[in-house]
Amino acid sequence: MFEAAIQAFAETFSPPLRKILLKSLGLALLLLVVLGTVLQSIVTHLVTLPYPFDTALAIVAALGLVAGAIYLVPPITSLVASLFFDDIADQVERRNFPDEAPGKALPIATSAMLSLRFFGLVLLVNLLALLLLIIPGVNLIAFFAANAYLLGREYFELAAMRFRPVAEARALRKQNAVRVFLYGMVIACLVFVPILNLITPVFATAFMVRMHKRIAAERGPRT
C-alpha cells in the first residue's frame, strides 16, 4: 500500500498528468474561493450588528474561513475529482497496466448524479466537523476518520465503476471495507497538509486505481 502511494505521488507530477494536475488545481482554488465567499456571506447575514461591530464580524468570519479552509478542501477536491477522474485513470491504467484493457468512463448523467450526491455528503460531514472545533481533539479525530471513510469510498468506487456495474462496484467496496478505509486514511493524511492537499484528486485517483487493480487481481478474472 505504501509503495503504491509513493508511486502515485511521484506519478502525480509526471508529464502525462501535469496538464490535468494544473487544471484541477486551478478549478479547486476557484471553487474554494467561491465556497468560502458564500459561507462568509451566510455568516455575516445571519448575524446583524451595528457598525463597527459588523465590520469586525466580517473580518473574524474571513479569518475563521481561512483557518478552517482545510475543512473545505475534501468536498472541493471530491467535486473536482469527478470531472477529471476518468482522464487521470485512463492515463494511469495505460501507463502502468499496458497489457490490460483500460476501463470505461461512466455515462455523463450517472457520473454527474453520483458526484453531486457525494459532494453534498462530504460538504455536510466536513461542516459538522468544523462545528466541533469547540471540542479539542475530538474534532480532528472526527475529521480524519470521516474523510478517510468518505474519500476511500468515493475513489475506490469510481475506480471500480470503470470496470463493473455500479452495484457490483459498491459490493466489492463493502467486501473490502477495512482495506478501503485504510486506503482512505492515506488520502486523508494528504488532506491534512495545506496547499499540498489541492493535488488530492490526481494523487487519490492514481493511488486508488492501483489499489482496485490489486483487489481485482486477487479475486481472479471476472466471469
Q: Give the mean model confidence (pLDDT) for residues 121-148.
A: 74
Q: Of 134 and 203, which is predicted with more confidence?
A: 203
Contact 32, 69 (CB under 8 A): yes
Given a contact cutoff of 8 angstroms between Cβ atoms, the answer to whether 171 and 158 are in contact is: no
142-199 pLDDT, tens per residue? 778 888 988 898 899 989 999 999 899 999 999 999 999 999 999 988 888 877 788 8
Looking at residue 62, its pLDDT comes to 61
pLDDT 10s digits, 52-85: 756 665 666 666 665 556 666 777 777 777 778 8
pTM: 0.77
Range 13-18 contact pairs with CB under 8 angstroms and sequence separation of 24 or more: 16/91, 16/95, 17/88, 17/91, 17/92, 17/202, 17/206
